[in-house]
Amino acid sequence: MRLLARLGEDVATVRQRDPAARGRVETVVVYPGLHAIWAHRVTSRLWRADGLLRLLGSRFAARVLSQLARTATGVEIHPGAVIGRRFFIDHGMGTVIGETAVVGDDCTVFHGVTLGGKGGRGAAGRRHPTLERGVTVGAGAAVLGGVVVGAGSVVGAGAAVTHDVPPGSVAVGVPAVARPRGA
């Protein structure tokens, strides 16, 4: 996807998911979650660079830029994290996404969410969670370790997820317990 089309898609995603987004210019200027995602695209490219760029310190540059973005936005996304399309970070402050986290297309996270590790390595050497397509994670929730939150699931505000969540579920509580959506 071309750069301008991707940027437009990002702005449209914010406007579709946040009723408070009043216009394109305002969205571009004042949404820290959007700025964090754009910064992550740059740092991720640097992180994954090979050859001469890596020899010249592209991973160090990626980490420095990601920390600058964290300072500016209040959102910390490690350059190694894999972020899908149409990802929306609502409010954003205090959101942390770890190095081996994978966020699928069409996901939404709210402020204070942690997609973090819990020590050691999980399945396939991953220590951070995977959010499959269309997952929503409520404010202050923590999804910890190499767990998978299945497609279309919702993690409730303040939940602590430490085990896989089946697709189409709602996970609430500390520790989180998953049940089918609508049940």
Q: What are phi and psi of 19, to 5 degrees?
A: -65, -15
Query: Confidence class of residue 105 from pLDDT cuts 50, 70 and 90?
Result: very high
Find the mean pLDDT for residues 168-174: 96
In a domain, 97, yes or no: yes
pLDDT greater than 90 at residue 119: no
In a domain, 166, yes or no: yes
Residues ≥6 apart with Cβ < 8 Å to 174:
158, 159, 160
What's the CATH code of the domain at 137? Answer: 2.160.10.10
Task: Please answer whether residues 145 and 176 qualify as being in contact, where contact means their C-beta atoms are separated by less than 8 angstroms.
Answer: no
Question: What is the count of structural domains for the chain?
Answer: 1
Confidence (pTM): 0.92
In a domain, 92, yes or no: yes
pLDDT score for 181: 86
pLDDT score for 124: 62
Length of the chain, please? Answer: 183
In a domain, 136, yes or no: yes
- Residue with token string 């996404």: 97
In a domain, 21, yes or no: no
Full strand arrangement of the beta sheet holding 82-83: 82-83, 102-103, 130-131, 148-149
In a domain, 102, yes or no: yes
pLDDT tens, 38-58?
A: 999 999 999 999 888 788 889
In a domain, 178, yes or no: yes
Find the mean pLDDT for residues 144-157: 97
In a domain, 96, yes or no: yes
Domain, as residue range, for 169:
81-183
Task: Please answer whether residues 160 and 140 qualify as being in contact, where contact means their C-beta atoms are separated by less than 8 angstroms.
Answer: no
